Amino acid sequence: MLYWLIKLLLAEPVVKTVFRPRVHGLGNVPAGGAILASNHLAFSDPLFLPVVVPRRITFIAKSEYFTGRGVRGRLTAGFFRGIGQLPVDRSGGGASRRAIDEAVRVLAAGELFGIYPEGTRSPDGRLYRGRTGVARIALESGAPVVPVAMIGTDLVQPAGTRLPRVRRVSVVVGRPLDFSRYAGRRDDRFVLRSVTDEIMYEIMKLSGQEYVDVYAAEAKRAPGRRDGTAGGAPGGRTAPGR
């Protein structure tokens, strides 16, 4: 209920009036369960996508949002639980397994599930290597994957800023990707990487971002690193393998 209250009474009126988001390809979102796999430029990304997509989207959010202490921590945790988001422990293991199971449950109920395959926000506006969790969810659920590109949200809320700036953003929705040809191979790590790279390739085409073949979390730990930018794709990018 909190999701719809925020969306209809606060998010939609403010976002559509102030930021006037452009949306392209909305008709590509299929009926029934589907995975919306998006690039991740800014903290505000999970605000813009639900505003332009009429149906409810369940996202996963890092577990730290649900375990904070003090008044601010409890308010944050209550907010994310109230809008029905799923916590994921990014350390892997059994905690990640539970997040995948919950995502499959959401999809089996015919709902939309949103995920950022990069695992964290891009540190510099480029598109980074995708984590294979999105592939595992797609193969276990059988749901199509819809690539999504957020464009301009990093200008609305650059890293390190608290207050958003008034900028017009775009949301581009690509055609659904069907991975039924890999049925029964959900534990094959080469298949998981191939599926993930195909998803990232489609996101790259929609967003026009430069692709970097390292994980964003690694790039954040090594400021100034420029791995993965030579050869391959247009503009000097190295395109993800297909």
At 138 the pLDDT is 97
- Among 177, 45, 58, residue whose Cα is nearest residue 111: 58
Residue 83 has pLDDT above 70, yes or no: no
C-beta separation of 111 from 46 below 8 A: no
Q: Name all domains of the chain by residue range, CATH numbers in brackets.
A: 29-236 (3.40.1130.10)
**CB within 8 A of 179, min separation 6: which ones?**
135, 138, 139, 144, 145, 195
Distance (Å, whole) CA 234 – CA 211: 10
Residue 152 has pLDDT above 60, yes or no: yes
- Among 117, 109, 195, 178, residue whose Cα is nearest residue 143: 178
CA distances from 131 to 72, 104, 112, 150 (A): 30, 17, 19, 18
At 93 the pLDDT is 57
Residue 142 has pLDDT above 60, yes or no: yes
Tell the residue number behind the tokens 């957020």, with chain if given: 150
Give pLDDT tens digits for 221-231. 875 554 444 33
Better-scored residue on pLDDT, 44 or 193: 193
- Kindly report which listed range (53-57, 157-161, 202-206) carries the lowest average pLDDT score: 157-161
| Percent of the chain residues past pLDDT 90, beyond the cut | 47
- Can you give the pTM of this predicted structure? 0.82
- Among 223, 146, 135, residue whose Cα is nearest residue 185: 135
Distance (Å, whole) CA 177 – CA 140: 15
